[in-house]
Structure 1
Amino acid sequence: MAGMANYIKESFGELKNNVTWPSWPEAQRLTILVAVFSIIFSLIIWGVDTVFSEVIRAYFNLM
């Protein structure tokens, strides 16, 4: 159990002292960028899914 406590203590020390955190404006900009690309990617997947659904529906209607 002492090993786990030591691991957590060292992890917090690592995050506090060795990680370079972005500034608030940069974090906001990157968050917006991720949100925009997520929306674009989801719309692309929705479009491909819709096309494949119609192709499969047309195929089975022919049979």
Structure 2
Amino acid sequence: MNKLISFVTDSFHELRYKVTWPKYSELQSNSTLVLVASLIFALLIGAMDFVFDGFMNWFYESF
């Protein structure tokens, strides 16, 4: 039980005094960057899927 209490106390102390939390504006800009990058990545994967699907349909219909 003492180990659990020590773990919780040490974790709280580290989160409160040792972690550098980002400013709200930095957090907002990083979140926007992640959102835009995710959308671009999703569009690229969707385009590759569309092209591959068209190629596979053409390939199977040719036989």
TM over 0.5: yes
1:56–1:8 Cα change, 3 Å: farther
Identity %: 35
Q: How does 1:8-47 map to 2 (within 5 A)?
A: 8-47=8-47
Unaligned residue ranges in structure 1 (runs of 5+)? none
Q: What's the CA shift string for 1:2-60, capped at 9, x where partnerless?
A: 43343233222211111111111111111111101011110001001111111111110
The aligned amino acid for 2:48 is V
Q: Distance in 2 between matches of 1:5 and 1:52?
A: 56
Q: Distance in 1 between matches of 2:9 and 2:52?
A: 51
**More moved, 12-21 vs 47-56:** 12-21
TM-score, normalised by the number of residues in structure 1: 0.84
1:2–1:40 Cα change, 3 Å: same
